[in-house]
Structure 1
Amino acid sequence: MRHLHKGVSFAIGLAVLGASLAACGGGSSGTSGDGRIELSIGTFTEFGYEDLIPEYERLHPNIKITHHKTGEGGPYHQNLITKLAAGNGLEDVVAVEEGHFSDIIDKSSKFNDLTEIGPKDVTADRWLNWKYEAGKDKDGRLIGYGTDIGPLALCYRKDLLQAAGLPSDPEGVKSLFATWESYFAAGDQYVARTGGKAWFDASSQLYNSMVNQLETGYLDRNDNLTIETNPGIKAAWDRITGAIQRGQSAKLIAFGNEWKTGFQQGSFATTVCPSWMLGVVEENAGPGNAGKWAVTDAFPNGGGNWGGSYLTVPKQSQHPKEAAEFAAWLTAPEQQLKAFQARGNFPSQTQALSSPQLLQQTEPYFGDTKIGQLYSEQARKVTRAQYKGPGDGQIQENVTSPALQAVEQGTPPDQAWRQVVDEAKKIVK
């Protein structure tokens, strides 16, 4: 998932959920009237490529590039699936968000293997291992070059924790956020000491983070539904619904209007913070809360990732080799650092993560915390990529999230869980 936050050097803004804008037009490739090879690229929201594309054209005078940019990610990916089925209309280079990458895995034969058509000097060690591995299909074919990532941390209100008698500095809170047990135990203390104020904003944010940390998610590598056989999924459900029943949830819908207002009003004390969320926090909390919000390089049970994308080359392209070279250039560490400076997209390339340009990046709104260094360390805590089979995103967005909202409104957790299992089975038949 990807966001743009205007006017903030690092952060990226409002959420791409519930999108309704029409997707951009299809791509075409061939040769221009002046003999240049024509390439097209399709992206959604903000990738930071506006200055990079002209730079590539200057470096490659034989290439002409058309950029099709869509404002929202939902319709973009729906349109992508439609064009894949039709066999035409896709750009030469197509961006795919990691949450939707599972939807093209079973259609990976329609994409080029980048290890076959891409530059031979582009090797796996360019990326964090888990990011590179997640760009492969079940047969081990590299379908996508990794762009950005969303390493996880926790954001919290320092003043609210301090008022509740809890540690409030970034080092002190690490013990609170070390494990899910310690996190929810701290939540119980917070609720008790504040007369029932909410510890976290939205249950689905935490639940999805817990599930994503499991070795196996909703589907195994054979695309079998694991929701009844994977004990970790039910354990996470029991843990989050128990916290809801103990009053820890603010019962807000993530990225909804009340959720946005909640940042200003101090309606909750903690929220899951992938790197791109910092801009969302600042945008919604406003200048009046500058310095009250903090972020720490701790996340329960070690870490995780939420967000990021890949660049693919569909077999529809008339110039797959040139398209792969362009995608490889865009995902080189030098270019990803430029995209980071332009739009705050946190790079997935190992050289970029060690760059002083990134490590020295600070964020004044969060007390001049060295954001680049913090999220680089969080990114390295992720050791593997959980397999995401077809339907995984639908289960997360259309099944478990509404079910958790129902629990927050009074539905018994066991009843809601039975609905989750039934609805998941309808998606994965």
Structure 2
Amino acid sequence: MRQRPTLLAAIAVLGATVACGGPADGRIELTIGTFTEFGYEQLLTEYEAAHPNIKIVHNKTGQGGPYHQALFTKLGAGSGLADVQAVEEGYLADVLARPALFHNLEQIGPATADRWLDWKYQQAKAKDGSLIGYGTDIGPLAMCYRKDLFAAAGLPSEPEAVKPLFASWQSFFAAGDRFVAKSGGKAWFDSAAQIFNAMHNQLDTGYFDRQDRLTVEQNTAIRQNWDQVTAAAARGQSAKLVAFSNEWNSGFKSGAFATKTCPAWMLGVIKEQAGPDNAGKWAVTDAFPGGGGNWGGSFLTVPKQSKHPKEAAELAAWLTAPEQQVKAFLKAGTFPSQVKALTAQELLGWTDAYFGGVRSGELFATQARKVGKAQYKGPGDGKIQENASTPALQTVEQGASAQEGWQRFVDSAKKLAK
């Protein structure tokens, strides 16, 4: 979610997750590798206090491509991974394709199958039926927007009143045309890639079918989404910003765009980047074009490299239990994926003054239940999004035709899928 470190730095940190030996006092040493902010620091201290025979070494680094490239390097080498290793959903398919290198948590861990939202639980099941990861957070989608920019353009601005604008992608892009015309050419959304990715994740079939065959050229829905997004960008709706770049960050503060696809964790990004001067200008509503979706979320795995797999599985199960998920949410804003956690009063009563006092916990719990079955993601899915569709859409925003960008996307996807 944040800016990414260099690959070498990520590999160095990930490699540090393996300890040379156990602690001198005879305790079992467990290592856990995570990225960005899981909200685990206090929880790990709590776990150690309740398990005096356990010492935990937590290694945290940046998120995204470099972290996972380092993970797969260590996985291929047969050494270097933590006892508990976090995996982001965009790279989970590459893990599920190698189930023999990870423990089946249904065999070595506590019984937990009934804990999660079904779509989250099913995401971590390999084709052989093994459960490779315990689900941590999720990113149910809502829509964030600038109330002041909406009002200035003559659009409704209160959360209930804006819902019809976000009822479908057709209504979303139609509202964008109205906004661009009435605002003197201001941008409706931040980048074509951000919109395209949200639309793509709602499709029944994504970049791969369940036989791991690339579908980009055959899946007409992908091309339809491409055409809609690039046409809207051509009509001036895109701010043409690269997500998580410095320019994108500052765009929240300067009002460079009026709407933002908004998974639960995005509220923290907006508050940080828009700053206190924009408190009350940003709002969030429990509506999303196409009905809902998910962006983000991770899993805790136990690689076969672990010397203490049973203890590692117990730690992973505890960290992802409802009570700990709620604590992590209150600490770091990581939204829970556990069914019981979604009914916790601490979550449902959570309000966010920055967004006008919205009951954001309740709002995103509602959005989480709108997500249907998880889209199947084949090996290399995350790489295609990061290194094929996103840069190809950026070339269109920089002047290439929609067809030229599409061909670049297709060609890059084919190379990555080999």
Classify the TM-score, shorter chain.
over 0.9
- Matched residue type, 1:87: G
196, 200, 211: which one aligns with 1:207: 196
Moved more, 238-247 or 33-42: 33-42
**Where do 1:169-318 residues align within 5 Å?**
169-318=158-307
Deviations 1:58-79 (A, max 9, x none): 2122222221222444432222
Distance change in 2, residues 1:31/1:258 (3 Å): closer
TM-score by structure 2 length? 0.96
CA distance in 2, matches of 1:268, 1:76: 30
Higher mean Cα deviation, 411-420 or 67-76? 67-76
Match of 2:85 in 1: 94
Q: How do residues 381-420 of structure 1 correspond to structure 2 at under 5 angstroms?
A: 381-420=370-409
Give 3-state SS (helix, strand or coil) of 1:22's partner.
helix
CA contact (8 A) 1:362 1:368 kept: yes
Over 3 Å counting, the alpha-carbon distance change for 1:303 and 1:320 in structure 2 is same
Amino acid at match of 2:46: E
- Check the 8 A contact 2:293/2:371 in 1, yes or no: yes
Q: Relative to 1, partners in 2 of residues 1:149 and 1:423: Cα closer, same or farther, differing over 3 Å?
A: same
3-state DSSP of counterpart to 2:59: strand
Residues 351-383 of structure 1: CA deviation (Å, up to 9, x unaligned): 111101001111111001001001111111101
- Distance across 2 between alignment mates of 1:157 and 1:64: 46
Confirm or deny that 1:66 pairs with 2:52: no
Structure-1 residue corresponding to 2:135? 146
1:22 and 2:13 aligned: no
Alignment of 1:332-411 (within 5 A): 332-411=321-400
CA contact (8 A) 2:322 2:338 kept: yes
Instruction: Report the Cα distance in structure 2 between the residues aligned to 1:151 and 1:29, rounded to whole angstroms.
Output: 40
Amino acid at match of 1:22: A
Count, aligned residues? 414
Q: What's 2:46 paired with?
A: 55
The alignment yields a C-alpha RMSD, in angstroms, of 1.5
State how far apart, in whole Å, the 2-side matches of 1:266 and 1:151 are: 24
Q: Which residue of 1 aligns with 2:310?
A: 321
| Contact 1:200–1:250, Cα closer than 8 Å, also in 2 | yes
2-structure distance, mates of 1:285, 1:342? 20
CA distance in 2, matches of 1:306, 1:29: 37
Give the 5 Å matches for 1:149-164.
149-164=138-153
Contact 1:157–1:294, Cα closer than 8 Å, also in 2: yes
* Equivalent AA in structure 2 for residue 81 of structure 1: F
Q: Structure 1 stretches (4+) deviating beyond 6 angstroms?
A: none
Cα shift readout 1:131-187 (whole Å, capped 9, x = no counterpart): 111011122210000001111111101111111111111001100001000000101
Which string of whole-angstrom CA distances, capped at 9 and with x for unpartnered residues, describes residues 278-327 of structure 1? 11111221222111110000000111111111000011111111111111
How far 1:240 moved relative to its partner?
A: 0.2
Alignment check: 8 A CA contact 1:28 1:92 kept = no
Query: SS at 1:154's partner residue?
Result: strand
Superimposed CA distance per residue, residues 90-128 of structure 1 (whole angstroms, 9 cap, x where no aligned partner)? 1111111112212222222100000011113x2x22011
CA distance in 2, matches of 1:281, 1:133: 30
For 1:180 and 1:18, the matched residues in 2 are separated by 34
User: Aligned partners of 2:415, 2:5: CA distance in 1, in Å?
Assistant: 22
Contact 2:268 2:333 in 1 (8 A): no
Contact 1:219 1:389 in 2 (8 A): yes
The offset of 1:30, in angstroms, is 6.9
Correspondent of 2:108 among 104, 113, 117 = 117
Mark the runs of 5 or more structure 2 residues left unpaired by the alignment.
none
Ranges in structure 1 where 5+ consecutive residues have no aligned partner: 2-14
SS of the equivalent of 2:340 reads helix
For 1:234 and 1:356, the matched residues in 2 are separated by 43
